[in-house]
Amino acid sequence: MFYELTKLGGPLLKMAEMDSAAQEWMAQATAGTVLGRWHTDIGPLGQVFLLRGFETADALAEERRRALMSRDPFNGNGIVERLEMESYEGFPFLPSASARTCGGIYEFRTYVLKPGGLPPTLDGWRAVIAPAKEYTDHLVINMFALDGQPRITHIWGFESLAQRTDLRNRHYAAGLWPPKGGPENIDHATSTIALSNEGSPLN
């Protein structure tokens, strides 16, 4: 499965308006499934995140071209001040992202990798998914970028920040996390906490 993670930036008080307009834009697409819609809460503020899944890279590229050729992509109506569109492919050993209830609190973690860092990163994650199941059950998707800097972005869903902290602490203490070979290949990393928007398939 291929994914597009879109980030819309604008005024803090206009995030709901940006989300509503983007829903109308995505409803007009000829391909792609809306998987999640969020607004940022901890980290860079004033952003709406949109995750869509595509069956093929060509379908993703076609939808990207529609946005690039539009004078008003995502129906920004002059409100959207910043637009980022990122293309990804899901880790081959993970199930595709799908609509489900995760608690409403989501973490978006991006690791920019050192050159050649993706193969050992994939190996490490493949080995740890089952042993760390209590934690990785909260993994919505992990995916590697098809454009820009070499990087992975993984999305996690939790009922609370306390639940996230408890799971991470226990798995670190047990030696089950992080995936072996992963940290050594990270150049730098970011983390953003976002809340699911009303009606988001991932909620």
Helix, strand, coil fractions of the chain, as percent rounded to 5 = 30, 35, 35
CA distances (Å), origin 105, targets 7, 36, 202? 17, 12, 10
Instruction: Give the rounded distance of the alpha carbon of 111 from its chain centre.
Output: 12
Per-residue pLDDT reduced to its tens digit, 150-188: 999 999 999 999 999 999 999 999 999 999 988 999 999
- What would you report as the CA-atom Rg of the chain, rounded to the nearest whole angstrom? 17
Of 89, 106, 85, 101, give the one whose Cα is nearest residue 22: 85
- Tens of pLDDT along the chain (203 residues) come to 999 999 999 999 999 999 999 999 999 999 999 999 999 999 999 999 999 999 999 999 999 999 999 999 999 989 999 999 999 999 999 999 999 999 999 999 999 999 999 999 999 999 999 999 999 999 999 999 999 999 999 999 999 999 999 999 999 999 999 999 889 999 999 999 999 999 999 99
Q: What is the CATH number of domain 2-196?
A: 3.30.70.100
**Cα angle 149-155-158, degrees, rounded to a multiple of 5:** 155
* pLDDT value for 155: 98
Which pTM value belongs to this model?
0.96
